[in-house]
Structure 1
Amino acid sequence: MLIQLFILGVLSENNYHPYFIKKLFKSFVGVDPSFKMSDGKLYYHFDSLEKKGYIEKKEVVQTDNRPEKTVFAITEDGKAYMVELIYKTFNNINISNVNSLYIPILFLKFVDLNRVIILLDQAIQKESKRIDSLLAAGNNPSVLHVEHIQLIVRHADHQLHENLRWLEDIRDSLVEYMSNKDQ
């Protein structure tokens, strides 16, 4: 889903060939090593998006002695699907995997930010309750005797709260942006 979102988001900016998009995507590997894409995976997603009518071939270009490159463009259906994917990602936030928001954040200019703020507020409330439940379970007297359990609880507490703060930072940043935009 994130690879398709990335492809659609980049094509929303301009028409490109898959190799260019792969180079852009590779730049994210330094940010988060979980972002990986093989040529096969890339072309699979391009084929899938094209079959669904979300992207279309625009032209084939050839420079010097280089292989031909097919340039793609996003369709109106593709734009709608991209927006749907962004909302879906924000609607399904998992506090343990907040880096799944990296790619959708790149393309927030294509969605209703007020809706994203609402989705973030809902996720923050839901995940706060989940953190409290996890910490309560880790501090339950029946497991306190388990060797080193508090090491795990402290790490989980720190990591999950850090991720929760990041969600709050995103929300606060969007709220500030919206209030400055309205002035």
Structure 2
Amino acid sequence: MKPVNLLGMALLRLLAERPQHPYELRQRMRDEGLDRMIKVTHGALYYSVESLVKAELIAPVEVSRQGRRPERTVYEITDAGREVAGDRLRELLSTVAPEPTTYGAALAFLSLVPPTDAARRLELRAVLLEGELAAAGTRHDALIEQGVPPVALVEMRHHQAHLRADLELTRSIRDDIRSGRMSWEPVLGSADGSER
């Protein structure tokens, strides 16, 4: 069987808590911030649900209709789904895999622009990271106050740790550039020879 992707894992986790229909699953992913870590579109969600049904990891338990709304199928996780989810989680937790980032790639290309320009851009990034870190803390605290169990928010703590590390590195590189500890001749110049 093909390994369950991250969206499938999110659906299995939510369905392990209680049977739900896809719209409810998507809303819960938003409420818990899972959609910030796992890309979920309407089409991807329904495709994942269908794939999980075909693999017999979830099963429909009820179809209902309210007024003129379309039918809603409620799904529940199967015993096979619980087993596969547990096995896949154990694999994901114990495996270190490279996670390439756009920022990591941008740092590899730093020598393309003048150092003063890079320092200004890194300062802007630091400000944005500070805002994102504050917002993430507020979201986490609000979910705790709403009664969401801490185990359901561990990924938010992971995200916050990455933001803190990113902010620390960004400030450090910016400071190294400003102090002259890191300097270079830009590989590319702007069309008019000035810095942007």
TM-score between both structures, scaled by the size of structure 1: 0.49
- Rg larger in structure: 2
TM-score between both structures, scaled by the size of structure 2: 0.46
Structure that is richer in helix per residue: 1
